[in-house]
A and B are shown apart, each in its own frame.
Chain A
Amino acid sequence: MDLSVTLGALRLKNPLMAASGCFGYGVEYASAVDLATLGGVVSKGLFLAPREGHPPERIVETPAGMLNAIGLQGIGVHRYIEEKLPELRERGATNIVNICGSTLDEYVELARILSDADGVHALELNISCPNIKEGGITFGCSLQGTFDVVSAVRKVTQLPVLPKLTPNVTDVASFARQAEDAGADAISLVNTFLAMAIDVETRRPRLSNIVGGLSGPAIRPIAVRMVYECRRAVKIPIIGMGGIATAEDALEFMIAGASAVQIGTANFVDPFVWGKVLAGIERYMTRHNIDRLQDLVGTIDTSTREKEWISS
């Protein structure tokens, strides 16, 4: 049974990646899951410098989902390389570093620094965090900005470049095309949906940042639709995510067109989710006589069918 995935020059053992911001720096979860068994570990979003993030409250639960406005609290790229990367390397993790810049130059500088670091396997470009004012989303909500960031990073690194797109645009497929034209190896989608929740008793927003990003099973059907749209728009591989909690959820994204998937919020609920989803995918492959998981990617069947009489 072959579960491996090739994303440009990046080869993953299996399609399950830990989503940025949902798995700390990876080392926090080493007690619960053997990091080497994951397809990839995507780091928390990193700027050049450390950041404190937003004051609490930073998360609030909503129906079948959660809002977060962490504000990209992080240790910065230098401490990541010094303090986290050696352990991740030792544990055999496939490390995808999620980078965020306030300016184009910051993305370029981060890409340069990480290209020289031992144990980094790819860069995910965060141009889609809905929770901070400067940078990131400013690029990700503009077609030209998306093109500029991806092509600038592309010029300075040999590492696979995976821009992570925002769903908070009218036509996500046009952003996928920009990323492809600018030289991206694959695209990650989606980041969270901009959303808010209010306490009606106090009339106060439930998050200190007022608005935040919605994740979890609530967003899954929208994310699946976006993966499906982008699959038809670009040739580069898609890493799909948005509310994946079970093997069926992961398979749904793959059938819609995702070559690999990321799990985020479900890891908060169950840090042992990884083995369960992987086992479920293997059972599905056996049941459907699939030897190579990549053969499933984009196999959605939209043909019209005669109604079948199924005798029970």
Chain B
Amino acid sequence: MYNSPVPLDIEARVTANTRLSRDYNVLALAAPEIAAAVAPGQFVMVKPGRGYDPLLRRPFSVFEILRTSGGAVTGLTLLSKRIGVTTTLLFEAVEGDVVSCLGPLGRPFTLVDPPAEAWIVAGGVGLAPFATLTEALGARRTPITMFYGARTGAELFYLDWFRERDVRLVLTTEDGSSGERGRVTGPLDRELQQARGRDVMIYACGPEPMLEAVAHLAARRGQPCQVSVERVMGCGMGGCYSCVIPVREPRGGQHYVRSCLAGPVFTGADIVWD
């Protein structure tokens, strides 16, 4: 039997829209019921406004859980990068707008406890699932290192947020304007070589070539790795079969599975990278 919990569909009011750069914004939504139920790595299907343009919802990782000073959950935020119709509407949204929000959906990250360490690898907007993961790991006192790469220093966000939560940051930028010049896999591989024998769990989210590189590095250095993939998704519920990704079959061969149901979090070694 499918025993997934009932997803909630909330017409969520926009309570804040913070522009982080020319293309990135953080949108706060009054969807406390979803925020209270979400596990790190899960996603919501979002549709700004009514009508048929855009027609389909789009998947977003839940970025932050918003709480009152007393700890009551009031909503959630989405980290969005403006690239298409939906993300443009989310970028331009103002307080009081309504965004339809369905979730929480998908398989979350598997958490680890000390003495294991968590190594987060984030590329660009792939930072999104790691605020909630950091809070969940922090509650278990699992030490966290985050390798965080972007094109340029102006697109590295929330650095203080992560530092305040005792996350050790290793930053890279493609233009060298902040941190080490190059890709995030550079320092990751160096540190993996030094971490032989230690118990490390890698969590990665970002462009698919980055995920592939991270999964290969993890396999080569003998460390486990969970990746959160982003595929073109139509429904988020397992209905449309558009978001498939090839995974290795136990008996050999490969097979397309729906990343909305079997993922978005996968064991890196299970995925057949193109």
Q: Beyond the given A58-B244, A66-B234, could you list 14 further A-B residue pairs with CB under 8 A, ordered by the A residue number?
A: A24-B241, A28-B239, A28-B261, A56-B231, A61-B54, A61-B56, A63-B52, A87-B1, A87-B2, A216-B55, A268-B56, A268-B235, A269-B235, A270-B9
Q: When the two chains form their complex, are residues B240 and A59 in contact, meaning their CB atoms are under 8 A apart?
A: yes
Q: When the two chains form their complex, are residues A53 and B256 in contact, meaning their CB atoms are under 8 A apart?
A: yes
Q: When the two chains form their complex, are residues A271 and B55 in contact, meaning their CB atoms are under 8 A apart?
A: no
**Residues B1-45 near A (CB distance < 8 A):** 1-2, 4-7, 9
- B interface residue numbers (CB < 8 A to A): 1-2, 4-7, 9, 47, 52-57, 85, 102, 231-232, 234-235, 237-245, 255-256, 261
Q: When the two chains form their complex, are residues B52 and A216 in contact, meaning their CB atoms are under 8 A apart?
A: yes
A26 to B99, CA, bound (A): 27
Across-interface contacts of B242 in A (CB, < 8 A): 56-59, 68, 70
Q: When the two chains form their complex, are residues A65 and B55 in contact, meaning their CB atoms are under 8 A apart?
A: yes
Find the B residue at minimum CB distance from A265: B55
Find the B residue at minimum CB distance from A30: B2
B158 smallest CB distance to A (angstroms): 30
Find the A residue at minimum CB distance from B54: A61
Q: When the two chains form their complex, are residues A53 and B244 in contact, meaning their CB atoms are under 8 A apart?
A: yes
Q: When the two chains form their complex, are residues B234 and A59 in contact, meaning their CB atoms are under 8 A apart?
A: yes
Q: When the two chains form their complex, are residues B239 and A64 in contact, meaning their CB atoms are under 8 A apart?
A: no
Q: When the two chains form their complex, are residues A57 and B232 in contact, meaning their CB atoms are under 8 A apart?
A: yes
Among B7, B53, B56, B256, contact of A73 (Cβ-Cβ < 8 Å): B256
Across-interface contacts of B56 in A (CB, < 8 A): 61, 66, 268-269
For residue A301, CB closer than 8 A to chain B, the reply is no
For residue A36, CB closer than 8 A to chain B, the reply is no
B88 smallest CB distance to A (angstroms): 14
A63 to B240, CA, bound (A): 19
Q: Which of B55, B243, B245 has the most CB of A within 10 A?
A: B55
Q: Which of B231, B235, B243, B255 has the most CB of A within 10 A?
A: B235
**Residues A42-78 near B (CB distance < 8 A):** 44, 52-53, 56-61, 63-66, 68, 70, 73
A239 to B232, CA, bound (A): 30
11 interchain pairs (CB within 8 A)? Answer: A21-B240, A28-B261, A44-B241, A52-B255, A64-B52, A68-B242, A70-B240, A70-B241, A73-B256, A216-B52, A268-B56
- With A66-B234, A265-B55, A269-B57 known as contacts, the answer to whether A31 contacts B5 (CB < 8 A) is yes
A29 to B55, CA, bound (A): 20
- With A31-B7, A68-B240 known as contacts, the answer to whether A56 contacts B232 (CB < 8 A) is yes
For residue A280, CB closer than 8 A to chain B, the reply is no
A146 to B146, CA, bound (A): 60
Find the B residue at minimum CB distance from A218: B52
**Residues A13-44 near B (CB distance < 8 A):** 21-24, 27-32, 44
Q: When the two chains form their complex, are residues B232 and A66 in contact, meaning their CB atoms are under 8 A apart?
A: no
Find the A residue at minimum CB distance from B3: A31
- A interface residue numbers (CB < 8 A to B): 21-24, 27-32, 44, 52-53, 56-61, 63-66, 68, 70, 73, 87, 90, 216-218, 265, 267-272
Find the B residue at minimum CB distance from A270: B9
Across-interface contacts of A73 in B (CB, < 8 A): 241, 244, 256
- With A28-B239, A87-B1 known as contacts, the answer to whether A272 contacts B9 (CB < 8 A) is yes
Q: When the two chains form their complex, are residues A217 and B52 in contact, meaning their CB atoms are under 8 A apart?
A: yes
A252 smallest CB distance to B (angstroms): 16
Across-interface contacts of A66 in B (CB, < 8 A): 55-56, 234
B103 smallest CB distance to A (angstroms): 11
Find the B residue at minimum CB distance from A52: B256
A60 to B102, CA, bound (A): 20
Across-interface contacts of B1 in A (CB, < 8 A): 27, 30, 87, 90
A110 smallest CB distance to B (angstroms): 20
Find the A residue at minimum CB distance from B232: A57
B87 smallest CB distance to A (angstroms): 13
A70 to B235, CA, bound (A): 14
A272 to B45, CA, bound (A): 13
Find the A residue at minimum CB distance from B254: A52
A60 to B55, CA, bound (A): 11
Across-interface contacts of B47 in A (CB, < 8 A): 269
Find the A residue at minimum CB distance from B253: A52
A22 to B56, CA, bound (A): 13
A59 to B258, CA, bound (A): 13
- With A32-B7, A53-B244, A87-B2 known as contacts, the answer to whether A271 contacts B52 (CB < 8 A) is no
Across-interface contacts of A28 in B (CB, < 8 A): 2, 237-239, 261
Across-interface contacts of B57 in A (CB, < 8 A): 268-269
Find the B residue at minimum CB distance from A27: B2
Q: Which of A70, A218, A269, A272 has the most CB of B within 10 A?
A: A269
A197 smallest CB distance to B (angstroms): 13
Q: When the two chains form their complex, are residues A268 and B7 in contact, meaning their CB atoms are under 8 A apart?
A: no
A32 to B8, CA, bound (A): 9
Across-interface contacts of B85 in A (CB, < 8 A): 61
A90 to B1, CA, bound (A): 10
A198 smallest CB distance to B (angstroms): 16
Q: When the two chains form their complex, are residues A269 and B55 in contact, meaning their CB atoms are under 8 A apart?
A: yes
Smallest CB-CB A-B distances: 9 pairs = A28-B238, A268-B235, A64-B52, A59-B242, A58-B242, A24-B239, A27-B2, A70-B241, A31-B4
